[in-house]
Structure 1
Amino acid sequence: MSPFDVNALKELWQAVFLDSAQEIDRFFAHFYAPERTVALTDGGSLAAMAHLLPVGNLLLGEREHSCAMVYAVASDPALRGRGYGRCVTEQACLRAQALGYDAVVLHPASPPLFSFYESLGFTPFFSSCTVPLNRQSPATSGEVSLRRVPAKEYVQLRRAFLQGSVYIDFTPHALAYQEMLCGDAGGLFAAEQGGVPIGCAIIEGDGAGISVRELLCHKENFGTVSATLNRAFSSAKTIVVRAPEWAVPSGLGSSLPFGMLRSFTPLDIPRNAVKWYGPAFD
């Protein structure tokens, strides 16, 4: 695409998602590639766009399938109702298939969009639990610390906690982008007790409100890690954690649909497989 076209993509992004110029430039510098971008025009003007992100393979035990994330699906607000969102999503899937991907995934921005994407061949596949932490929870015994880690180390921590699950194996490049979204107060962290990792977390926020975009730990350590988060971000008004159902003690949060999958080849996924999406760059 020409520089003019890229500028049009950025303008549409700002009009739909209301991100700052800095945030938009950050995405285009990190992920943008013309061959992984689908754009539709109406009367010579940009009407809709979608991006394919090579975030990592879909792991099913010992098997790997190439996977792209469909991201930033957007249509011009003045042109909505004309089917451009549907068309650009379908074109993105066709592009992914042409590029050799086995599957695409996405995180619908709101619950009503699940039925929209189902009509395009996507299947609800990943779920998550959202848990607002009790800011008055008591401290737990045992010294646990949070250590900021680089993207390459976080990849290894994720793999250890997700072993045996069906999950998106985010690359260091993808996690480095997520790290940029985390703000000065956040980042990629290991929760350690006696120097041994008992959890890992992607933490995003400005200090006033903290969103833990991913918390991976064994269920018996959820309370300990939560207390550590409360202590580390004591000035935050709220801390909200997103975690797999298997990591959350019963009664703290219910599992809800989170991510969707459309495959272009049979994946042979076990019926009762435990599945996890991870960061959605949301």
Structure 2
Amino acid sequence: MRWDGNRESENVEDRRGDGGGGGFGFGGRSIGLGTIVVALVASYFLGVSPMTVLNVLTGGAPSAVQVQQGPAASPPASDQMTKFVSTVLADTEDTWTEIFRAQGENYEKPRLVLFSGSTPTACGTGQSAAGPFYCPGDQKIYIDLSFYRLMQQRFNVSGEFAQAYVIAHEVGHHVQHLMGISDKVDNARRRTSEAQANALSVRLELQADCFAGVWAHHADRARSILETGDVEAALNAASAIGDDALQRQAQGHVVPDSFTHGTSAQRIRWFRRGIENGQLTTCNTFEAKQL
């Protein structure tokens, strides 16, 4: 991926070194070590709490979160990985600003928070194992950069564009928030069964994958960021984190009604649709008859 020398975002907040906390508990539930490891890595890709992934894999009930405020912002460090995520964030800013402007709307840029251990967010305490996740309460993306290493070790997914795809997916959730899509889905989920609520979550996540592809489409046309093998790396990442792949690895079988992010094939299909067409209208997963 070509990114070195491009603009870096000013909307990066570095909380690393603020203390953080240890791990997290799983209550009295009996969960195998393999399942926990899969949940930790999957949560990084999926942008949700490890507890949420464990609930998908084991059928448990979701846990509540408490609203908290984060510490004061501090300037980011100047290491290579920090420069990378800052540049990717800037690229998403430029792309989505242009897309929103073309529709006569203003794009509100999210902030990206670097942390280690744990950190307070408006969506509850963010854990380092939760990796990139988006919190609509404060419109911030939270990232523990050290987990990029674990994603490569566990799923053999590497490459800068695969890492950029993860950030772009979370930015996709921010776009959904600005467009009012997330609120509509949350309201609908409260009035449906668990299986129906999960199905709505799948459509929301697949749309975020498609939005990530839309970003890549426009960014490459404007700045030629893609190199040979980049798209394949992102597709490999999408394939590795499908609900079916994760469940099969953790428990040997799949439970479709518990899916919340879509199958590997679905995630690949919607990311590919976004990157090939570059149009928001092609990302309407909620009216698609077949995902």
The alignment's TM-score, normalised by the length of structure 1, stands at 0.25
Select the structure that is richer in strand. 1
The alignment's TM-score, normalised by the length of structure 2, stands at 0.24
Greater Rg, structure 1 or structure 2?
1
Select the structure that is richer in helix. 2
